[in-house]
Amino acid sequence: MKKVLLFVAVISAFSFASCKKDRTCTCTTTSTAPGSTSSTSIKTYTDAKKADARAACLSTSGTYDFGGTSYVWTNTCDLK
């Protein structure tokens, strides 16, 4: 009975372990400024847990002022 209980405990421990692998974050940045073009960047997180990579791969946005006019930039990211 002790061997069976130990076996079940070991299998349970493995099921709770997080899988670390290489994860890719692809971000596209756009702006409302006239004449601006979108750009794409790719960041690879090696040996990362999904939760850690997701925390680092964030979509963001903000505003900036140029010549008295405010423009909005958006950085849209996707974790694969």
Q: What is the per-residue pLDDT across 6-40, written as a single tens digit (0 to 9) for each?
A: 665 655 555 555 688 999 999 999 999 898 889 99
Residue 48 or residue 7, greater confidence:
48
Give the per-residue pLDDT at 2.
66
Query: Which residue, among 25, 24, 26, 37, has the nearest Cα to 73 in the 3D structure?
Result: 37
The pLDDT of 68-80, averaged and rounded, is: 93
Q: Rounded to two decimals, what is the model's pTM?
A: 0.65
pLDDT over 90 (residue 63): yes
Contact 14, 39 (CB under 8 A): no
Residue extents of the structural domains in the chain:
20-79
